[in-house]
Amino acid sequence: MSSISCIVVEDEPLAAKILIDYIDQLPSLEYKGHFKNALLATEFLQKESVDLIFLDIHLPRLKGMNFLRTLQKRPQVIITTAYHQYAVEGFELNVVDYLLKPIEFDRFIAAVNKVRQNNDKNPPAGVPAPEKDFLFISVQKKKIKVLLSDILFIESQREYIRFVTTNTEYLTKMSTTEIESRLPASQFLRVHRSFIVSISKIDSFTAEEAEIKGHTLPIGRSYRDKLSQLLS
């Protein structure tokens, strides 16, 4: 059985020590390093690859969830935190497990076993994993599931995002950059600094506007060539 290389991203010394001790007790894990913040972990991952990250959420400078969204080639991730309210967001980002502090050793082992099971199920090299067909967004303290196939377009309204779907609308507090990072590039395209559209829902377009199910949306000058090339 091949070992699972891993790193710990944790700013609390005691919490990091416990995780490293747990890792040392499992022969299947290969410890590659500990990083006190996500920026240091990013520097490491630009040079090295690992199979697994034990990741705290509340990190200095760059929060754990935001760090995950910056990773183009994301290893498997086990979240370690004292805050249970981020569980849905974590699983939305395809984390393997969500460990609440203080972490018991048997619970730690169970999480690592999930990683091993995922490795057994992974497709052969070169075969991409299927994209998710939904996402969860926060609406009035509730997590709402939105099917990607239902989204017509997304509009930025300052610090809020308006989702317009085939049958309703949602308003959630989020940046345009954040939502763009969560959408598959094969299905969605930014056509204006304030608008992201579902490519398959575009009915017609000109150099200045796109029509989507009765909605007329502007096309920014810098986005025209990419849209034209994509739909030509």
Q: Which of 132-146, 147-161, 177-191 has the highest mean pLDDT?
A: 147-161
For residues 190 and 152, the answer to whether their CB atoms sit within 8 Å is: no
Q: Please give the pLDDT value at position 155.
A: 96
HSE toward the beta carbon, residue 193, CA cutoff 13 A: 3
Amino acid at 93: L
- Cα–Cα nearest to 192, from 153, 135, 139, 136: 153
**Rounded distance between C-alpha atoms, residue 218 and residue 100, angstroms:** 45
pLDDT tens digits, residue range 13-52? 999 999 999 999 999 999 999 999 999 999 999 999 999 9
**Which of 102-106, 180-184, 223-227 is the most confident on average?**
102-106
Total Cβ atoms within 10 A of residue 198: 22
Tell me the pLDDT band of 198, cut-offs 50, 70 and 90: very high
Domains and their CATH numbers in the chain: 4-121 (3.40.50.2300), 140-231 (2.40.50.1020)
Q: Does the global pTM surpass 0.85? A: no
Question: Which range, of 100-114, 179-193, 197-211, averages the lowest pLDDT?
Answer: 179-193
pLDDT at residue 220 greater than cutoff 60: yes
Are residues 212 and 192 in contact, defined by beta-carbon separation less than 8 angstroms?
no
71-125 residue pLDDT tens: 878 899 999 988 766 655 666 677 888 888 999 999 999 999 989 888 776 544 4
Q: Reduce the secondary structure of 37-95 to three states and give it as a string.
A: CHHHHHHHHHHCCCCEEEEECCCCCCCHHHHHHHCCCCCEEEEEECCHHHHHHHHHCCC
